[in-house]
Structure 1
Amino acid sequence: MAYQELVKEVLENIGGKENINGVTHCITRLRFKLKDESKANTDKIKQIKGVVTVVQSGGQYQVVIGNHVPEVYQELVKIAGIQSNSPNEETSEKKGILNTFIDVISGIFTPVISVLMASGMIKGLNALLVAFGVIESGSGTNVILQATGDSLFYFFPLFLGYTAAKKFGAKPFIGMAIGGALVYPAVAAATANLEPLYSLFPGTIFESPVYLTFAGIPVILMTYSSSVIPIILAVFCAAKLERVLNSIIPKEVRGFFIPFFTLLITVPLTYIVIGPLATWAGLLLGNVMLGVYNFSPIIAGIIIGGFWQVFIMFGLHWGFIPIALNNIATIGYDTIMIAGSATPLATAGVVLGIFLKTRNKKLKEISFPAFLSAVFGITEPALYGVTLPRKKTFFATLASVAVAGGIMGIFGSKSYVAGATGVFAIPNFINPEAGIDKGFIGYVIAVSIAFIMGLVLSLTFAYDPKVDEEPENNEPKQDPKPALNESLGKTVYHELASPIQGEVVPLDQIEDEAFSAGLLGKGVALVPQKGQVVAPEDGVVTTLFPTKHAIGLTTDSGVEVLIHIGMDTVNLKGQFFEAHVQQGDHVKKGQLLVTFELEKIKDAGYPLITPVVISNTAEYLDVMATKKQTIMESEPLLTVIS
């Protein structure tokens, strides 16, 4: 469907693109920051075909479009000539230093993490096959598998050049070009058989031979393949330089002069200054962490292992990733993140114990898939859906991983490959030179004990099945309702469960007109008492906004459900929200979709009232809401009549 006319009419009546300070979009609406809202012809915009309504709230001029707003936004960006990734007032809010650091690191590594895991698994498989004599080292199979698994790591600066450029707002292919220049083989080859011209910083830990110069300036050559920190800093500088060049170069020639000058300045600067300084900083940081570990490997293993899942919950684990990757690139192994590597199997043991012990049918349905996911390295379903809500089981997981971390410290276990998790991580600990050594045996013992300890703790005192016993239904009997999809003549009733535990509120009590007037569909609102959203029915996640504040599902019976957590929470830009599914996933009823931090969202000043509406209401005879004042997850909330 083309949206050119819709966009043109909106632009015309909003005061033109000159009246726009910035624009973003959420799951249903375009959110404008206008220079002068009085220039917008609100009444006329409301009459435009394709516009549901207009809402003016929180300093934003919101044009409600519906579920196809991403396509309208892209058309708007194209027609108005607005850069979709340019910073605006909404994205320039100040964050704490730690939050900023975590946001940057996660933004750079998240897009490549799945390929990183796959590459690590292939390298581990290759090492395993060689260690057990299945294939010979140096054989064709060995070489091709090694190339498959190692290509990402060797050319890591190219991948990170792309993702870092996206994060810092630079042109992605410029980032890749900088990364490519750092691993360009001819630079190292040109100095292979040369004697150094002289040395810099003689007699210090930074003493470095100089083999070549750039315009008379000495160049300290470093090994940048598999490196992390140099390319991130280089692209950060390139992004800043791009903005300066953009302000001084005429727009007619920006297309080729900005990349020309950015590369011409950034690449030599990286070789001369940024690369050596970043490499030294990385080595220093790695040696400090290694020194702490060497001081007491057992204590370090216990502390890092015991708190690893806490780090994951708060996103702090991202801070360890560049250090670990840097260690593998510079010294050939890592001892920082290994303690946390027992987390998936410890979690699997705890969840298996819950599965075997519980009498709650719903919990059994949730816990077994969560157990399987944890075995293969994905712990979020188990963490948020099973262990964390029961507290003691969460602490049992932490204790099991802490013990495993201490055991790894005793054996001096090391990880030689990054990426894979769960059972797939086991080959990462095979020493590429010594094969099956003491460290590898220690790792296998540690993760085995983590699994067994988690299982035993869960089966004994960490989990009490009474907390999940299904309560007897002592409520007054209500009028009998037709069962799900039960036909009465030509009438079919689709009963949808509540995705949130909380207080039930009529839609018309929401201040947002788009919801209160039923313009986005009939439904009900909930005031959450618990910070999580579960699937109201089996179906497909058709929409998951990047800020995670809203999610749309289409059930297997064709009902389109929109769950919008809070009002104007899109402005939080994902802070305090965590998604546990991806767009396109098929989910089961009761499966965890999104978690959010209730108190922090309240403290930030955003109402938590959450509309749950049927987007395709027009396709049905009616939508009826429950008469309950409070409701638990998975209790009947809406009945859709077709």
Structure 2
Amino acid sequence: MKHEQLANDIIERVGGKGNVKSVVHCITRLRFKLKDEKKANTESLKNMDGVVTVMQSGGQYQVVIGNHVSDVYKAVVSVGGFKDEGATDDAPTDEPNGNLFDRFIDLIAGIFTPILGVLAASGMIKGINALFVAIGLLENTSGTYQILNATGDGLFYFLPILLGYTAMKKFGGTPFLGMTIAMALVYPALEGIPGASEPLYTLFSGTMFESPVYIEFLGIPIMLMTYSMSVIPIIVSTFFAAKVEKFFTKVIPSVVRMFLVPMMTLLIIVPVTFIVIGPIATWASQLLGSFTSWSYDISPLFAGAIIGGLWLVFVMFGLHWGLVPIAINNFAIQGYDTILATMFTHSWALAGAILAVWLKSRDKKIKTLSAPAFISSIFGVTEPGMYGIALPLKRPFIITLITSAIGGAILGFFRTTGYVLGGLGVFQFPTFISPEGFDMGFYAAVIAAVLGFVLAFVLTWVFGNVNKKEQESPVTGGNSGKK
């Protein structure tokens, strides 16, 4: 009943059921697409009990709830009569609000948000498995290791299939059609051809695009690439697949549309993906990975300070979605990533700042918000602490950015590397364990986390002005001090 009342209040303040085009949720936020954001009563929403804050970014009206957002989301869908994880009408191809940049952020968020939970869970399992091997509890030849490895690695190997679903849904096509395209890309028989036979000939010899040709399609050379764990090829192919499907839906008679539309779409898109989209996207991925590595190699310390120090700002404006595909791409191309590793300190610095606020504040509501926000930050979920505590009090947020930058510089200087994708906060430690065991990069991650936590705690305790009246009001919902 508590969630239903909150859901009713939220729907009323976003402009009513008729103003909602769609609603989904991520780890901590309800993500609305509204027909007119001006109809929403943002200030009233921010001051509601049960709502941390409101953000408007990437063409989305985001109501930050906290760790129990899934329960509130179910109530919102039930009370509002909305489609679960979908649009409120039958027009999934509606263009997102905002400019080109907002639409890009909306696209990335829409594709990756639905799988974030299982993505993080799989990464945690892989990290724990690596930890067990590193400390000698398991042998990497044991059956237990193999089962745990399959459990954690299965999602990453078949990632294109999940992205085929979410991307096709985002582009307004049939999700299972996108999955089928992805299944063709990771079909084991095709992936095994390069190791089982000699190439017919080689294209672009002597260049970074050198590609041996093992098979042809209607006389056209097929440059077989490895698409397991890939991101860009399936997103691009589903973009075109949605348009091709829409075309055939218009021209094919309804009596045979059910099977002819997907058949014709697959017959066109799958070969085109293998012949054109796949190779070009893979080459682009290789260039992007090379450029990222080159930039990092110039000054890892500076790169780490920038990424680590600004990570929460990226999250606040939705910019972090632009770095996630790069990291996944690095794992697919290089087998490891140094980019997302440099942001590791941010959750520990935020946790230190929140702990200082929790212990020092005399405001009951701040104390109530601080406890779960602190615990969430330890496990890498930063939105409750950032929006509920650090940002409204301002100084703790600035202190968090500074200490995160210091930690990021340390991680960059010692070239801390993530060897598996996934895991947040305390669960991210195992991802830094090298296949050869513990190295200086792992120890640097421990040092950066401890230093970020302690330094943020001390600086917030001394300079945070936690009990300053005019800074308490944004959290408590009282007078902000303005006349």
Shorter chain as denominator, the TM-score bin is: 0.7 to 0.9
Q: TM-score, normalised by structure 2?
A: 0.81
Separation in 1, partners of 2:266, 2:330: 28
Say whether 1:192 aligns with 2:38. no
Say whether 1:392 aligns with 2:395. yes
Say whether 1:440 aligns with 2:446. no
CA deviation after TM superposition for structure 1 residue 465, in Å: 2.5
CA deviation after TM superposition for structure 1 residue 94, in Å: 6.0
Q: Which residue is 2:124 aligned to?
A: 121
Separation in 2, partners of 1:67, 1:185: 40
Q: Which residue is 1:227 aligned to?
A: 230
**Is the 1:230–1:275 Cα contact (8 Å) retained in structure 2?**
yes
Separation in 1, partners of 2:145, 2:82: 50
CA deviation after TM superposition for structure 1 residue 420, in Å: 1.1
CA deviation after TM superposition for structure 1 residue 363, in Å: 1.5
Pairing partner for 1:466 from 465, 468, 472: 468
**Is the 1:360–1:469 Cα contact (8 Å) retained in structure 2?**
no
Q: Which residue is 1:211 aligned to?
A: 214
SS in 1 for 2:196: coil
Change (3 A) 1:28 1:387: closer
Q: Which residue is 2:478 aligned to?
A: 632
SS in 2 for 1:170: coil
CA deviation after TM superposition for structure 1 residue 371, in Å: 0.6
Change (3 A) 1:313 1:29: closer
CA deviation after TM superposition for structure 1 residue 32, in Å: 11
Q: Which residue is 2:69 aligned to?
A: none
CA deviation after TM superposition for structure 1 residue 348, in Å: 0.3
Change (3 A) 1:83 1:632: closer
Q: Which residue is 1:292 aligned to?
A: 295
Change (3 A) 1:331 1:353: same
Change (3 A) 1:186 1:364: same
Q: Which residue is 1:176 aligned to?
A: 179
Separation in 2, partners of 1:69, 1:468: 37
Q: How do 1:30-429 residues align onto structure 2 when only pairs under 5 Å count? A: 30=18, 70-71=80-81, 84-87=90-93, 91-92=94-95, 95-429=98-432
Q: Give the length in aligned residue pairs.
A: 413
Letter of the aligned partner of 2:90 in structure 1? Answer: S
Letter of the aligned partner of 2:438 in structure 1? Answer: I
**Greater Cα radius of gyration, structure 1 or 2:** 1
Per-residue deviation, residues 248-270 of structure 1 (Å, max 9, x unmatched):
11122111111101111111111
* Percent of residue pairs bearing the same amino acid type: 50
**Is the 1:28–1:67 Cα contact (8 Å) retained in structure 2?**
no
Separation in 2, partners of 1:456, 1:444: 18
Per-residue deviation, residues 368-421 of structure 1 (Å, max 9, x unmatched):
221111001111111011111111110100011100110011111111111211
Change (3 A) 1:97 1:390: same
Separation in 1, partners of 2:264, 2:372: 53
Q: Which has the higher contact order (CA 8 A, sep 6+)?
A: 2
Residue ranges of structure 2 left out of the alignment (5+ in a row): 1-13, 22-35, 40-75
Separation in 2, partners of 1:144, 1:72: 39
Separation in 2, partners of 1:191, 1:83: 47
Q: Which moved more, 1:147-156 or 1:434-443?
A: 434-443
Change (3 A) 1:282 1:393: same
Separation in 1, partners of 2:322, 2:152: 24
Separation in 2, partners of 1:30, 1:405: 45
CA deviation after TM superposition for structure 1 residue 439, in Å: 1.2
SS in 2 for 1:335: coil
Separation in 2, partners of 1:135, 1:73: 45
RMSD: 2.6
Residue ranges of structure 1 left out of the alignment (5+ in a row): 1-25, 34-56, 61-65, 471-500, 502-529, 533-589, 591-630, 634-642
Letter of the aligned partner of 1:152 in structure 2? Answer: L
SS in 1 for 2:212: strand
**Is the 2:342–2:416 Cα contact (8 Å) retained in structure 1?**
no
Change (3 A) 1:283 1:372: same
Per-residue deviation, residues 170-191 of structure 1 (Å, max 9, x unmatched):
1010011011111110112233
Per-residue deviation, residues 122-144 of structure 1 (Å, max 9, x unmatched):
00000000000011111011000
Structure richer in strand, relative to its length? 1
CA deviation after TM superposition for structure 1 residue 343, in Å: 1.1
Structure richer in helix, relative to its length? 2
Separation in 2, partners of 1:119, 1:353: 32
Separation in 2, partners of 1:206, 1:255: 40
- Structure 1 outlier segments of 4+, above 6 Å: 66-69
CA deviation after TM superposition for structure 1 residue 305, in Å: 0.8
Q: Which residue is 1:548 aligned to?
A: none
SS in 2 for 1:431: coil
Change (3 A) 1:131 1:462: same
Separation in 1, partners of 2:187, 2:348: 40
